[in-house]
Chains A and B, each alone.
Chain A
């Protein structure tokens, strides 16, 4: 079941709009709260559920770990660097999980990939990159960007 928003908890901040990889979380123009505009394209990745600062979005868990009648709630605390899951099954049993989501403070010790050397011909021919797509092995002329492909990012939402 796709994501849905608890309108009483939502304040229309737009974090879910920003993070949705399918670009289907938007702000309802009338209520000015978040809304899933295309439920059948939602793949329940939990990005918006985790990104919401008010825990205003909920989604049904995948059936492989959460059979019918369950509740799955997640709380991402980026200050503490943890993500907590609480799965409640229909027989009343509860499982709680807490895991790290970063090991270094945010924004620190980010590798500078720009200045990393491109793979050498030897590396491209080696076992390590043998079955990787040409784009990753940089066989077809460097990284693809919007600019290199003559494209432009259009601002705003069109629906």
Chain B
């Protein structure tokens, strides 16, 4: 299989004009934008984030609390513009780029493959179609993106669906509403590679590709597609509340603090190593 070429340019010469392809891509992009906004409004996700931000501001404004045990004074911090920029950079570089939400290594890897494969594939497709020219670089990016998306999406389906891994549900139990996003990605990647591998044209693989991509981009309102946009907001919010000290009222006292190590109830750990190993986290939760 030659990964330095795609059948898209040949399509323009043999029946489907660039303008038609551009129209299709434009409709798909518009569908994503409109449906994501509609989903945001319907789920009130933006409302939740603004409310959470207001709540944190109130806590900061109320100042440090009187504490009978612990060290509350001077913990809360009003963030500067620089702090917020740092949080934004961290969100983009870690949480978005490396799927930082996931603590499980293999699961994180599968999401990285899927996400970056999808981005490469879609960006390359758009650049080829709107640029009306297929360079070797763009074609290679298209193919690599499709391969990464195939590995990621199919790997996810067979090995990482959480309701299957953590609860023993069958991976073949398909519910269109909840699975359309995954199935759309799997179908698109398989169809794209099948289409290019069989020499392109407007036959079965091409029709399969159009059906998959239309299903994928046309079901954004009902699928989990839009969570791609919510997750960075949630990750940014988490960094901000950790930095300003509010952190959803989570405890901040740890064994690393010397005054805690010397407290009477911590005597039992006086001679214990700082790293006690893993207990319940030692194994993946697959004990169904």
Contacts and interface: CB of A to CB of B under 8 A. Distances in A.
A156 B68 contact: no
Given A17-B285, A82-B255, A100 B268 contact: yes
Interface residues of B, number: 60
A79 B249 contact: no
Contacts of A14: 162, 165-167, 284-286
B131 to A, nearest CB: 37
Contacts of A100: 265-266, 268-269, 272
Interface stretch (B101-109, B114-122, B147-155): B101-109
Contacts of A71: 249
B169 A157 contact: yes
The prevalent SS among residues of B at the interface is: loop
Interface stretch (B8-16, B21-29, B30-38, B275-283): B275-283
5 contacts: A8-B237, A92-B66, A98-B255, A100-B268, A106-B276
B166 A104 contact: no
A98 B266 contact: yes
Contacts of B178: 29-32
Contacts of A17: 166-167, 285, 288
Interface string A61-76: 0000000000101110
Given A94-B70, A108-B277, 20 more contacts: A8-B230, A11-B101, A14-B166, A14-B285, A27-B166, A30-B175, A51-B280, A73-B249, A73-B251, A81-B272, A82-B255, A93-B66, A94-B65, A95-B70, A99-B266, A105-B273, A106-B276, A107-B279, A155-B168, A156-B288
A80 B274 contact: yes
Interface stretch (A38-46, A83-91, A114-122, A131-139): A83-91
Contacts of A19: 280, 285
B269 A82 contact: yes
Given A11-B102, A13-B104, A96-B67, A32 B161 contact: yes
Contacts, number: 183
B260 interface: yes
A125 interface: no
Contacts of B286: 14
A84 B254 contact: yes
A77 B254 CA distance: 9
A104 to B, nearest CB: 7
Contact of B268 (A12, A79, A98, A103): A103
B248 interface: yes
A56 to B, nearest CB: 10
Count chain B CB atoms within 10 A of each CB in A8, A93, A108 and give the residue with the most: A8
Given A86-B249, A86-B252, A98-B263, A81 B103 contact: no
Contacts of B248: 55, 73
Contacts of B167: 14, 17, 26-27, 156-157
Contacts of A8: 230, 234, 237
